[in-house]
Amino acid sequence: MGKYEFANGLKMQQEERQRATRRAREEGRAPPHRPRWFKAETDGDTGERMWAPSRAGDRLEYWVEREKVWENGGRQPWKDVEPIFIEDVV
């Protein structure tokens, strides 16, 4: 649509929000990052750390949560998920 200046402004706002979040974590004003959909495990064969998706019973927790949000038309917020995007100003 040719709105390059507008898009660049949004990109810069998004990047600044990410930097501010990182600074807040480094300074102890925000809790450390905790992966929401994965957990660290040790591979039984190699002994190396790997990231396994979190499960809710026999299903992946992400999809269980996504279905809950979708069923409510997106009105229900994601559980234990930080808002990482700037507000849409289109």
Query: Which tens digit of pLDDT belongs to each residue from 48-69?
Result: 999 999 999 999 999 999 999 9
The rounded distance, in Å, linking the Cα atoms of 73 and 70 is 5
As given in the structure block, the two tokens for residue 74 are 């997106």
Helix (H) or strand (E) holding 69: helix 61-71
β-bridge partners, 38: 53
The per-residue pLDDT for range 21-52, each reduced to its tens digit, is 999 999 999 999 999 999 999 999 999 999 99
- For the full predicted model, state whether its pTM sits above 0.85: no
